[in-house]
Amino acid sequence: MKDNQNVIDLKEISTIYEGEKIPVIKNINLQVKTGEFISIIGPNGAGKTTLLESINGLLDFQKGKAFVFGKKIDRNKTAIRKHIGYVIQNFELDPLAPFLCKDIVMSGRTGKIGLLRFPTKKDWEIVWQSMSLVGMIDFAKRPIGKLSGGEFQKIILARALAQQPRILLLDEPLSNLDISSKKQIETLLNRIHEKYKITIVMVSHDLTNVPANCNRIIVLDKGQIIMDDNKKKILKSENIEQIFKNDENRRI
Amino acid sequence: MNSIPWMFLLPSIFGAVLAGFACSAMGNFVVRMNLSSIGYCMSHAAFAGAAFGLLITVDPMLTAVLFAIITALVLGPIAEKARLENNIVIGFMFSFMIALAFIFLYAKPGEAATGKALSILWGSLFSVDFNDVILLSVLSFILLLFIIIFYKELLSVMFNRKMAESSGVNTRIFYFAVLFFTGFAVALSLKIVGGLLVFALIINPTSTSYQFFYDFKKIMIFSPVFGILSCLVGFYFSWIYDFPIGASIVIVSALLFAISIILSPKRKKGKRKQKK
């Protein structure tokens, strides 16, 4: 595949949840080039996670056509996912969960290693590299349930990196973190983008959580893309403030 | 104390060890994947199946296996598709299966009170024959292979199904495989432990093992150890004091769990942290 080709290409995508009549995302057109770092922002309930999970095929879309790496998503889900790292939104983890950090990071490679094969020395080397990159190598043998929010997020990021993905999908990777952890993860994302030239699509509901390397912002509201431009233009736009103000009013 | 020579007990001893292994090996997944309600239903489905076997005068073991497997094959997709709460699955399937079992036993009044029928409920020390041991050995061997070969996939699914799916694992196959093998393990252990108690043999050893380790590999190794230990000690008490075998095994496994809670290093660490 050529470098300038769209690594993600969504054409008129609409996704409806089971039992619902109104699509969560409507007529989405999104083209992402190799190596881009984009942020999808929007208020709560705008359909950000739905859009992200339509890209890696975790959610089926009902209308439109979608391609990742030039392949149809709906027909190549499992194959495509092996090259897409996904960091899901913070989930509650049982503090007694019986998993060591190194095993969780290795679990990112499960699909890539493939069925009926065992992890090799090389696979473990990739795991150690990913853990070192996020600064968590000393936590290899620690139980995952004992980590703080920021540490946990780094391990989940290392898990996605161990997959050696071509695309990294991040769902609110900075939410529920304290300021210093937010900064650390942000720096990490910039470093990963520079070092590996991975295409990164990051979802956030907070305008202040846009990493420095992110050059394009997509604003999603009520399931539709209402703005798609470079970071500076979007952040200066008056509309954007209005959207987030409306969201605050809705919540009040 | 019974006066039967030990030689005659060999199939029962092997049966107990293998049932302990098979049930507790599957317990690792059932507990972690939050499938306890589904497995619980399966043990009662196996019980209903055995009762059905008595009714139509077919080997109860065969019908128990059939019922458990059919339940595994039907329940998985239903629970997944309808996104039912665990409590609803328990309430619906448990009562449905017990009702079926009672109707089958009632339909054959002569059989209902016989030792054969009761042994399905309580388990029996002497009902295990050579064929049962062969079947349990084959199942245990297949389970061992399944766990070793697909360990990385199973671990990935057990940490988080969605994340496993997102990194290219077909989680549905493993979800159904766990249900399928649990159905088998329950059905084949039914004769020894009994339909009403067999599920404790799935939950208790794993829960005991959980108290000691954070490493899933160690839990995977030690829960069958606790399962086999429960079965052997339970078997011994049943033999010495003439206790019902199923109850004896379950009480030993429950005691092991109680002791593990007291000795658990996980809890001690927690207390120390709280003091700080």
What average pLDDT does the segment A110-126 reach?
A: 96
**Residue B121 is assigned to a structural domain of this protein:** yes
Q: Which of B30, B167, B266, B271 to mutate to test the interface with A (most CBs of A within 10 A)?
A: B167
* Cβ–Cβ gap B159/A107 under 8 Å: yes
DSSP string, B87-113: HHHIIIIIHHHHHHHHHHHHHSHHHHT
**Residue B240 is assigned to a structural domain of this protein:** no
Nearest CA in chain A to B213: A98
Distance, in Å, from the CA atom of A102 to the CA atom of A128, rounded to the nearest integer, reads: 8
A165–chain B nearest CA distance, Å: 9
Distance, in Å, from the CA atom of B87 to the CA atom of B8, rounded to the nearest integer, reads: 43
Query: Which class for A194: exposed (0-12), middle (13-18), buried (19 or more C-beta within 10 A)?
Result: exposed
Q: Which of A20, A99, A147 to mutate to test the interface with B (most CBs of B within 10 A)?
A: A99
More confident: A206 or A49: A49
CB A63 within 8 A of CB A24: no
Average per-residue pLDDT in chain B? 85
**Residue B265 is assigned to a structural domain of this protein:** no
**Residue B252 is assigned to a structural domain of this protein:** no
Q: Which long-range contacts (CB under 8 A, 24 or more apart) does A244-247 make?
A: A244/A43, A244/A207, A246/A43, A247/A43, A247/A44
* Cβ–Cβ gap A111/B168 under 8 Å: yes
pLDDT of residue B275: 37
ipTM: 0.92
In chain A, residues with a C-beta closer than 8 Å to the C-beta of B30 are none
Nearest to A88 among B162, B168, B213 (CB): B162
**Residue B243 is assigned to a structural domain of this protein:** no
A62–chain B nearest CA distance, Å: 18
More confident: A1 or B221: B221
Distance, in Å, from the CA atom of A215 to the CA atom of B18, rounded to the nearest integer, reads: 60
Distance, in Å, from the CA atom of B121 to the CA atom of B106, rounded to the nearest integer, reads: 14
CB A211 within 8 A of CB A170: no
pLDDT of residue A242: 75
Q: How far apart are the two ends of chain B, measured CA to CA in Å?
A: 54
Whether A206 has a pLDDT exceeding 90, the answer reads: no
More confident: B87 or A37: A37
Average per-residue pLDDT in chain A? 90
pLDDT of residue A173: 92
In chain B, residues with a C-beta closer than 8 Å to the C-beta of A111 are 167-169
pLDDT of residue A170: 96
What average pLDDT does the segment A9-35 reach?
A: 92
Whether A40 has a pLDDT exceeding 60, the answer reads: yes
What average pLDDT does the segment A197-208 reach?
A: 90
pLDDT of residue B44: 82
Find which of A91-95, A114-118, B86-90 is predicted with most confidence, using mean pLDDT.
A114-118
pLDDT of residue A95: 84
Tokens 């199973």 appear where? Answer: B154
Which of A39-43, B17-21, B127-131, B153-157 has the least mean pLDDT? B127-131
pLDDT of residue B40: 72
pLDDT confidence bin for B105, thresholds 50/70/90: confident
In chain B, residues with a C-beta closer than 8 Å to the C-beta of A91 are 160
A239–chain B nearest CA distance, Å: 34
What average pLDDT does the segment A212-224 reach?
A: 93
* B interface with A, Cβ–Cβ below 8 Å: 32, 149-150, 152-153, 155-156, 159-160, 162-170, 210, 213-217, 219, 266
What average pLDDT does the segment B214-236 reach?
A: 95
Nearest CA in chain B to A91: B160
**Residue B98 is assigned to a structural domain of this protein:** yes
What average pLDDT does the segment A190-203 reach?
A: 94
pLDDT of residue B203: 92
* Cβ–Cβ gap A81/B168 under 8 Å: yes
Q: Which of B152, B153, B173, B211 to mutate to test the interface with A (most CBs of A within 10 A)?
A: B152
Q: What is the pLDDT of residues A67-77, one digit of tens each?
A: 999 999 999 99
* Cβ–Cβ gap B167/A96 under 8 Å: no
In percent, how much of chain B has pLDDT > 70? 89
Kindly tell me the sign of the dihedral angle through the C-alpha atoms of A42, A46, A49, A50. negative
B218–chain A nearest CA distance, Å: 9
Q: Quote the tokens at residue A218.
A: 């997509």
* Cβ–Cβ gap A110/B165 under 8 Å: no
pLDDT of residue B115: 66
More confident: B93 or B248: B248
Whether A128 has a pLDDT exceeding 50, the answer reads: yes
Helix spans in B167-197 (H): 171-193
What average pLDDT does the segment A131-147 reach?
A: 95
A247 touches chain B (CB under 8 A): no
Where are the extended beta strands (E) located within A2-88?
Answer: 6-15, 25-33, 37-41, 63-68, 71-72, 84-87
What average pLDDT does the segment B75-87 reach?
A: 71
Tokens 């309580």 appear where? Answer: B122
Q: Which of B54, B178, B160 is nearest to B107 (CA)?
A: B54
Strand bridging mode A167-171 / A84-87? parallel
Query: What is the crossing angle of helices B216-241 and B198-210, to 10°?
Result: 130
Q: What is the pLDDT of residues A225-234, one digit of tens each?
A: 999 999 988 8
Kindly tell me the sign of the dihedral angle through the C-alpha atoms of B185, B191, B195, B197. negative
Query: Which class for B115: exposed (0-12), middle (13-18), buried (19 or more C-beta within 10 A)?
Result: exposed
Residues 6+ away with beta carbon under 8 Å from A148: A181
Whether A250 has a pLDDT exceeding 70, the answer reads: no
Sheet architecture: strand order including A6-15: A25-33, A6-15, A63-68, A71-72
- Domain tally, chain B: 1
Distance, in Å, from the CA atom of A88 to the CA atom of A110, rounded to the nearest integer, reads: 17
Find which of B6-10, B21-25, B56-60, B83-87 is predicted with most confidence, using mean pLDDT.
B21-25
Strand bridging mode A25-33 / A167-171? unpaired
Q: Which of B274, B235, B273 is nearest to B251 (CA)?
A: B235
pLDDT confidence bin for B273, thresholds 50/70/90: very low
Q: What is the pLDDT of residues B167-207, one digit of tens each?
A: 999 998 998 899 889 888 988 888 888 877 788 889 999 99
pLDDT confidence bin for A178, thresholds 50/70/90: confident
Segment holding A77, helix H or strand E: helix A77-81
CB B189 within 8 A of CB B40: no
pLDDT confidence bin for B276, thresholds 50/70/90: very low
pLDDT confidence bin for B1, thresholds 50/70/90: low
pLDDT of residue A4: 54
Whether A205 has a pLDDT exceeding 90, the answer reads: no
What average pLDDT does the segment B41-62 reach?
A: 84
Nearest to A98 among B162, B169, B216 (CB): B216
Whether A207 has a pLDDT exceeding 90, the answer reads: no
- Owning domain of residue B93: 24-195
Q: What is the pLDDT of residues B12-21, one digit of tens each?
A: 899 999 999 9
Nearest to B166 among A86, A109, A146 (CB): A86
CATH 3.40.50.300 positions along chain A are 1-83+166-180+198-252
**Residue B145 is assigned to a structural domain of this protein:** yes
pLDDT confidence bin for A252, thresholds 50/70/90: very low
* Cβ–Cβ gap B210/A96 under 8 Å: yes
In chain B, residues with a C-beta closer than 8 Å to the C-beta of A58 are 162, 165-166
Query: What CATH number does the domain containing B133 carry?
Result: 1.10.3470.10
What average pLDDT does the segment B17-46 reach?
A: 85
pLDDT of residue B2: 58
* Cβ–Cβ gap A88/B210 under 8 Å: no
Q: Which CATH class is domain A1-83+166-180+198-252?
A: alpha beta
Which of A123-132, A175-184, B5-14, B70-79 has the least mean pLDDT? B70-79
Tokens 């389970």 appear where? Answer: B143
